[in-house]
Structure 1
Amino acid sequence: MNPVPHTPDADAIDALIDAMSFTEKVGQLNQRLLGWKSLTRDGSGRLAVTDELKREIDRWGGLGVLYGLFRADPWSGRHWGNGVRPEERPEAIRLVQEAVLSRGAHGIGALLSEEAPHGHQALGGTILPTNLALGATFDPQAVREAEAAVAAELAASGVHIALVSGLDVARDPRWGRCEECFGEDPLMAARMCESIVVGMQGENRSKVGRGGVAVVLKHLAAQGEAVGGRNGQSAIIGTHDLHEIHMPPVVAGVKAGALGFMAAYNDIDSMPCCANPWLLRDYLRDRLGFDGIVMADGLAVDRLEGMTGSIPGAGRAALLAGVDVSLWDQGFASLERFADDESVVAAVDRSLRRVLNLKAMFGLLPVGCGGGDGRGPAGSTERITVGRGSVAVPSAPAIEAAMADAQEKSRELASSCMTLLDGGDAMADIRAAIADEQAGPIIVAGPFADDIACFLGDYTAPLPEGRDTSVYRRLRERFGDRVMLAADGTGLEGTDWLEAAVVVAVVGGTSERSYDSEFADNGAAASVKGRGATCGEGVDLCDVTLPWNQDALLDRLRELTSAPIVTVVVSGRAHVLTHVLEVSDATLWAGYAGPYGPDAVVSVLADAAPMPGRIPVTLPARAGVVPVRYNDRQSAVHVYRDAEEPVLLPFGHGDRATGAAAIERACVTRSGDIEVTVRVGDCPGAVNLFARRIGGVRVPRLAELVDSVRVPGPCGWSGTVRMDVPAEAVTDPNDDAIRVRLWVGVPEHGEADECEVVVRR
């Protein structure tokens, strides 16, 4: 296990635990209060603590963890008119922590946790591309740098815990939360999780409490495997697939030093993740050596009531299974009634020690227990001191500087997400027509032609005034009145269509929630009406063709003009794009590329910017063939009589992903690992190495991604890159020898592109 840089005083923490009542101990494990309800505004508009916060502190003699103090979105009801603005974060921290210290019994500050699935969900907070879009970059180093910048922003704001998506693997495009996954591949998910943890916490947790934050990775485990793509439902999965597909990012997170994991809503073969002793104790702690906290997902503990028969029983079951910290539920708030239950008392002390160890890393304990030692947000110049308690207050200039850096990282990542699906030969003519000032109109069409929210994904705060833009507006800024808007294909003269130089169609889906939306009790979308959200938590679909009859819109555009159509797909799941590719001259996939997505799209169209992305999921040819994944064990080709070719485009497809690289040499080293040299020629983005095992006692996967390397030079670079495959990636412990076929490009391959080695255990 990685060493902890800020080792708390164990004896002092033991003494602190001994001094606490059982109710006070239980209070430290609770994260019941919605943070945005802890502050209000007085008659002069200044921030003030609420009676609800005071009652919560008084009930427990302190406060364990406070969730979402800065959260702003339609569910919280916070926006630029009533939420905490960036410049107000220092005052918000001062008010809350002062209340906790002054009303609490032991001088223990509160841990502050914030949603950061892809950036900070707060007013002015940096929004990164969603994970599915980041998966298209195949660039863990860039993700690490961006997450480090987001962590610096959070730390500068006085936040301690970032709740970050990364463990989920996209196995069924019907699931609305596919956008939170890095794709369908476990190796890339694992590398991205490592990047999140090291970026936010530093190597060996070196930044925790020193300009970084503690990461709680979510969701543990196999949530992407839920039957039918239905959120939070049963994962019907065998042991081998569980460990091969869903556990690699967990293992990577533990090895990188993650300080927290969030137990998911779903069950695995009838065992709820937040009440699964094997998952949370035997596997996570005993086998992997995890030493941080396990947090339940929002209200997940209370959902155990149907299993246990009562809310208190639900809290007890989750605690004994290995959950340390609650999230909004009443189950953990009911634990104080088990003061005579020896097993509960012992489990509370174990979980409390983990929480206090984490607080010590941020200087939130009383002086002498790891608190009051100067640690705090970067740039902080003030401390609140009440009795034995002392907590640092952030600095507004430091917050502003950190936000600027993180937003620049978001801009860079948006460009790396751009993925060419089809029409590479047509792009030169399309770009020339756009650049030709004497050519006809540039018509921007589609439901998202003049929309920015579609690029943002779920779990995002409203953008500040002046930051809202779109593909249409960015093109109009560049090319003036030549650029015309026809979102639904109407509103223009027939001559405009006849004379058009290019039509840019912006289609796909959106995870935008409006402020009049209906929500479930955990903040997920409760209902979607009309042209509401088509993706995100609570928006599972049985039909993954493009919503709102967008295929028909493309047909209408084709009838109106003979100009080339370049279609930009903005989406958070693997939609069926068969008709899009048939109608369009070129197709660009942008995922949810974040607030700088429109800029990146226009750079591709107007500046010939490279399109280095690789799609991180398999695109189905028909809705009825899902789920279909590149690393399934059996092929779906020629199975369905009405859809014999079920795959439209394979995992890893992108600009020159095939034919631009070839294996020069592959050999097995003395350690049994495989060393591969690949010749690369003019291949933007990543080079992916795939393998297929031959031999053994189990049905092999059709293909497995075993390494991925970013081309080290600019577009057009040629040379060789080295790729390495650990023996354990392609063998089982009981195998004597395994033949391994290797190839580069995409999972579909021909015999001429393969090489073969034998790996012996």
Structure 2
Amino acid sequence: MVLRFGTACAALALMVGASPAIAQQQAASAAVPAAATAHPGQWPLLPMQLKRDAKVEARVAAILAKMSIEDKVGQLIQVDIASITPKDLETYKLGSILNGGNSAPNGDEFAPAPEWLKLFDAFYDASVKRSDGRPVVPVIWGTDAVHGANNIVGATLFPHNIGLGAMRDPALIKKIGAVTAAETAATGIDWSFAPTVAVVQDDRWGRTYESYSEDPAIVASYAGQMVEGIQGTIGQDFMKPGHVIASVKHFLGDGGTGGHDQGDTRVSETVLREVHGAGYMTALPAGALTVMPSFSSWNGEKMTGNKSLLTGVLKDRWGFQGFTIGDWNAHGQVTGCTNEDCAPAINAGLDMFMYSGPKWKELYANTLREAKAGTIPAARLDDAVRRILRVKMIAGTFDNGRPSARPMSGKFALLGAPEHRAIARQAVRESLVLLKNNGSVLPVKPGANILVAGRGADNIGQQAGGWSITWQGTDVANKDFPNGQSIWSGIDAAARAAGGKATLAVDGAFTAKPDVAIVVFGETPYAEFTGDRPSLEYSPDDKSDLALLKKLKAAGVPTVAVFLSGRPMWVNPEMNAADAFVAAFLPGTEGGGVADVLVAGKSGRPVADFHGKLSFSWPKRIDQNVLNRTDPGYDPLFPIGFGLTYADKATLARLDETKPKVAAGDQNALFVRGRVAGGARIGTTGAAVQTRTDRRGQEDSLRLTYKGAGSVAIEQAMPIDLTRESNGDLSLIVEYRVTAKPTGAVTVGVADTGKSATVALTNQLAVGDWATVAVPLRCFASQGVVMNKVTKPFELASSGALGIDVSTIRIGSATAPIACGAK
């Protein structure tokens, strides 16, 4: 029997997120957090469908008995392909490799699909090459295929989870999982780090779009279906060709950290179980083979080191038979650990480290030493390895041969296949939520002259969001999505088919007054912690989108706003300035799905009516950062479940645009639009002088003049923590223009409370137009700067004369950062 939401887990799932008792528990938890030790006996038993197979267990036991302790320790380690070569696996028989957010074959994120398969063959061949008579255990490759095979050029990219949650369509979720698996398998890769089953409670979190809903019942209804789509259904097509290993993440409570990535979820065990545990109630019975512990903590204890949950609940109480895989160097945050040494995480129940960096051999050596000394008990080591071998056996790793020899490998026509794109387009149609339609502006009538405007209109990268070819979803162009379609392109095709025409003008300019304008705008792409926000105000530092809407309204043009975002946001001014407002979230590569709903055909009816219902509550006020249905005093602008259809004729009255003083802006910007981040100042030393100049606005940039040796720095009133940014391989990014060439050495630096580090910039600086330089934060960390105590996140020093203008200084992801040893 296959577990379905609504059968074995119905009572539990319906209880989750709907009980007033849970709301009371959440309120109480915020005031008095419970301890960080779980009580497994208080957690429900799960009807696990994946049972141990005697033949599999016998094969695993036979292999395990012949493995050396060195072999066993190797299986516990997964290394990013940017830090390891196939040749390394001839000596070090590691369990797995992965491609991190910015890692790809030959360092090329735009590498064609055959290069991915070729590289996996090389790693595989090295892993099975041995002549010492000990067992051959092939390596497996993990990837973040979180909304399609999103690292691969040409793949079908689906709406991110927040949009999928608005569909309320579990059957379609399973199809999406199956397409994602098939396109991943075409490259040979056999493991997807998905699905995310976070139940986000504070939408300021940068990973909100990776969550299906704030409502645990919705998450539970999807989690098992997505696992079945990715892995296949137990008793039917489970782990058959075209399916890949799933990883349910991030265990446990990642959505409750108060809007801070890698933060601390301070709730009672009841809330942890019944809210944040909802997705596991269906994903694990469906047979999920791996689980990824979270970066985050529960009541002060890092999840990666919480034995009561990893072992007590997940493995002992629930009977999970697969293995746990750490997040990106997350073990290094466990008390008493570093990235290269963390026996406590293994002893707590972590089975495989996920490691990035050049020192993975140190992690191997330290873990081997601790295993030999008994610091990691032999029984715990064997349990971890047994779990890894079991999953590899179930996945066919031992039997399917080289990646390129597997049944689905090399079938690159699957990437963006028409039938896959049709499923994605359906998902786009079903995920759109209509929030306002005053005067029945929508659907756009057949034969209309449509003006399409806004920065997101012809921008597939923006509509796809983060985790789209590049980790942050930035530095991509429409050509990088050869099987995708922009929203503008979809509207253009629909307008012409209905006897009308569409004109693209990003700035909204027109000569002949259009019948209607569709303005596509919203958040620029981000991933993980770079998307954390101090408030839910949309674009507090740049109101050009609002100005565009107001300009069209003043010209008497009926205006439709299509809002691209990874979360609900306070957009009362933008909503007031539009006649209709559509929450499109992050629809992926099938922009035509937007046109299917907005633009009527010759019959006067569009391809589809609005179907989507909000999966998150929409804020009425700018200070409603925590806004969930079960919260006391719940007062949203639009409640979860809201969504108009064309049958609804409601008129939305003008909204209050009053803004109380709350933190706003971009947390990753150190200096932007003429302002430094809160709590900081610009200081100068020596012969350096700072004034202002104009770039995009009046006095929005620094004009730095060095008449001799001196420096200009951003100085923090209190130290800031850049640990996660350094760990995530982000860079210090500076937009600059040299006005007078340097006569001495120029460096950029970062300092903590007692130490500073620099990287040379002299050869980067030539008089000319505006340019950008990116310096990896790890360059400073490797020189000993304590990254959680940074007092100067930026210092530009020159030993001689120099003239330079600086318009932006920020922390972000860069595709071509300079080398740490640059001159």
Match of residue 286 from structure 1: 316
Q: Which of the numbers 505, 521, 524 marks the counterpart of 1:510?
A: 524
- Aligned in 2, Cα 1:328/1:658: closer, same or farther, shift over 3 Å? farther
Does residue 544 (structure 1) correspond to residue 536 (structure 2)? The answer is yes
Match of residue 443 from structure 1: 451
- Aligned in 2, Cα 1:425/1:7: closer, same or farther, shift over 3 Å? farther
Q: Deviations over 1:25-69 (max 9, x none)?
A: 11011102x23666xxxxxxxxxxxxx3212441x2x2311112x
Match of residue 340 from structure 1: 373
Shift of 1:161: 1.6
Match of residue 109 from structure 1: 138
Q: Which of the numbers 256, 259, 265 marks the counterpart of 2:289?
A: 259
- Report the AA paired with residue 459 of structure 1: W
CA distance in 1 between counterparts of 2:437 and 2:550 reads 20
Does residue 25 (structure 1) correspond to residue 38 (structure 2)? The answer is no
**3-state DSSP of counterpart to 1:411:** helix
Q: Which moved more, 1:329-338 or 1:275-284?
A: 329-338
Shift of 1:566: 0.8
1:80–1:464 CA contact under 8 A, matched in 2? no
CA distance in 1 between counterparts of 2:142 and 2:152 reads 12
Q: Give the TM-score normalised by structure 1.
A: 0.70
Q: Deviations over 1:480-521 (max 9, x none)?
A: 7953334234x444xx3xx2211111122131xxxxxxxxxx
Q: Deviations over 1:696-739 (max 9, x none)?
A: xxxxxxxxxxxxxxxxxxxxxxxxxxxxxxxxxxxxxxxxxxxx
**3-state DSSP of counterpart to 1:623:** coil
Does residue 648 (structure 1) correspond to residue 661 (structure 2)? The answer is no
Which aligned pairs between 1:369-388 and structure 2 lie closer than 5 A? 372=399, 376=400, 383-384=401-402
Which aligned pairs between 1:310-389 and structure 2 lie closer than 5 A? 310-311=338-339, 315-328=342-355, 330=360, 333=364, 334-338=366-370, 339-341=372-374, 343-365=376-398, 372=399, 376=400, 383-384=401-402
**3-state DSSP of counterpart to 1:136:** helix
**3-state DSSP of counterpart to 1:317:** helix
- Report the AA paired with residue 319 of structure 1: I
Flag structure 1 segments of 5+ consecutive residues without an equivalent: 39-51, 366-371, 377-382, 385-389, 512-532, 638-646, 661-761
1:165–1:181 CA contact under 8 A, matched in 2? no
Q: Which of the numbers 421, 432, 445 marks the counterpart of 1:418?
A: 432
1:29–1:332 CA contact under 8 A, matched in 2? no
- Aligned in 2, Cα 1:251/1:485: closer, same or farther, shift over 3 Å? same
CA distance in 1 between counterparts of 2:414 and 2:421 reads 10
Q: Deviations over 1:367-396 (max 9, x none)?
A: xxxxx4xxx3xxxxxx45xxxxx9944555
Match of residue 515 from structure 2: 501
1:127–1:456 CA contact under 8 A, matched in 2? yes
Q: Give the TM-score normalised by structure 2.
A: 0.65
Q: Which of the numbers 551, 565, 584 marks the counterpart of 1:590?
A: 584
Shift of 1:605: 2.1
Q: Which of the numbers 85, 89, 102 marks the counterpart of 2:112?
A: 85
Match of residue 690 from structure 1: none
CA distance in 1 between counterparts of 2:107 and 2:56 reads 42
CA distance in 1 between counterparts of 2:434 and 2:164 reads 15
Q: Which of the numbers 248, 272, 279 marks the counterpart of 1:242?
A: 272
| Root mean square deviation, CA, Å | 2.9
- Aligned in 2, Cα 1:83/1:255: closer, same or farther, shift over 3 Å? same
Shift of 1:589: 1.3
Q: Deviations over 1:521-551 (max 9, x none)?
A: xxxxxxxxxxxx4x65422111222213256
- Aligned in 2, Cα 1:154/1:269: closer, same or farther, shift over 3 Å? same
2:262–2:295 CA contact under 8 A, matched in 1? yes
Match of residue 119 from structure 1: 148
1:446–1:553 CA contact under 8 A, matched in 2? no
Does residue 98 (structure 1) correspond to residue 112 (structure 2)? The answer is no
Larger helix proportion, structure 1 or 2?
1
Q: Deviations over 1:341-369 (max 9, x none)?
A: 1643321111000011111123333xxxx
Q: Deviations over 1:207-256 (max 9, x none)?
A: 214432221111111111113x1111111112222122101111211121
Q: Deviations over 1:113-160 (max 9, x none)?
A: 121111112233331110001001010110111111221232343222
Shift of 1:15: 3.2
CA distance in 2 between counterparts of 1:168 and 1:601 reads 30
CA distance in 2 between counterparts of 1:26 and 1:94 reads 23
Match of residue 684 from structure 1: none
**3-state DSSP of counterpart to 2:451:** strand
Q: Deviations over 1:660-702 (max 9, x none)?
A: 9xxxxxxxxxxxxxxxxxxxxxxxxxxxxxxxxxxxxxxxxxx
Match of residue 571 from structure 2: 577
Q: Which moved more, 1:263-272 or 1:558-567?
A: 558-567
Match of residue 635 from structure 1: 633
CA distance in 2 between counterparts of 1:201 and 1:282 reads 26
CA distance in 1 between counterparts of 2:562 and 2:65 reads 61
CA distance in 2 between counterparts of 1:187 and 1:360 reads 33
Q: Deviations over 1:10-31 (max 9, x none)?
A: 3443232232221211101110
Q: Which moved more, 1:545-554 or 1:130-139?
A: 545-554
1:174–1:540 CA contact under 8 A, matched in 2? yes
- Aligned in 2, Cα 1:129/1:552: closer, same or farther, shift over 3 Å? closer
User: Among the aligned pairs, what percent are the same residue?
Assistant: 24
- Report the AA paired with residue 543 of structure 1: S
Match of residue 486 from structure 2: 470
Shift of 1:273: 0.6
CA distance in 2 between counterparts of 1:465 and 1:342 reads 49
Shift of 1:597: 2.9
Match of residue 503 from structure 2: 484
Q: Which of the numbers 103, 107, 111 marks the counterpart of 1:76?
A: 103
CA distance in 2 between counterparts of 1:11 and 1:466 reads 47
**3-state DSSP of counterpart to 1:165:** coil
CA distance in 2 between counterparts of 1:309 and 1:201 reads 34
Match of residue 176 from structure 1: 206
Match of residue 64 from structure 1: 95
In the alignment of these two chains, the number of paired residues is 573
Does residue 222 (structure 1) correspond to residue 222 (structure 2)? The answer is no
CA distance in 1 between counterparts of 2:593 and 2:107 reads 24
- Aligned in 2, Cα 1:397/1:359: closer, same or farther, shift over 3 Å? closer
Q: Deviations over 1:253-287 (max 9, x none)?
A: 11211111100111000111100011111111122
**3-state DSSP of counterpart to 1:538:** helix
CA distance in 1 between counterparts of 2:142 and 2:104 reads 18
- Aligned in 2, Cα 1:215/1:28: closer, same or farther, shift over 3 Å? same
Q: Which moved more, 1:181-190 or 1:651-660?
A: 651-660
- Report the AA paired with residue 644 of structure 2: D
CA distance in 2 between counterparts of 1:354 and 1:254 reads 15
2:242–2:408 CA contact under 8 A, matched in 1? no
Which aligned pairs between 1:162-173 and structure 2 lie closer than 5 A? 162-173=192-203
CA distance in 1 between counterparts of 2:457 and 2:50 reads 50
1:576–1:622 CA contact under 8 A, matched in 2? yes
